Structure 1
Amino acid sequence: MKPDFKKGLLTTVVIDSKTRAVLMVAWMNEESYQLTLKSRQTWFWSRSRQKLWHKGEESGHTQQVNKMTLDCDQDTLLVEVTPNGPACHTGHMSCFFNQVDLDKGEEHAGLG
């Protein structure tokens, strides 16, 4: 099964194969998808920089791809990886570390 790029960029959820923790969410276009398949490392489309982005190209924190699964609509991709260091540019293992206080609806950095 192949992604449906006619809908635009693919939302890509990256998880740690071992811990199952969600590491990050990024976007793939057809070229980054093909580079990911070929290299077995994650490549994305940077919406802010408007260019291809090889995860770890600057930090060295690459992600070795172990498995990729498409959702039922073929427009969201789940990528299971073995991370070589933190996924987040802040140095956190996961980009998801800002807990929302459900009672107040406010963010609390670093909790969770």
Structure 2
Amino acid sequence: MSRDPAATSYLLVETRFDGTAERFLADAATLVHTGGRVRLFLAADAVALGIRGASAELREFLDAGGRVWIDEFTLDHRTLRAAPLEAGVTSAGMADVARLLLESGTRVVWH
């Protein structure tokens, strides 16, 4: 039995900053275009994607209606707290991620 993408909430976790991350973001934008409710969490090396102008694919994902969290721990650890974030990117912590993980109907993809 397949599920309606619009009835499912997706949490996509990206940890890389490379070509595969860009493809992952393009796939995430496609998922949003199909009606899915998609939240992307950028952690580890992927926080660099959230810096203003760093990723055209991230901008496309946001423009499609996707929502983006950036890991506050990594921002602090890598002294990026003052870096200009892409418009629409907000910082979040593990408590936020855990809360979303526990919501009924949330599917998680970790990359």
TM-score by length of 1: 0.23
Larger Rg: 1
More helix by share: 2
More strand by share: 1
TM-score by length of 2: 0.23
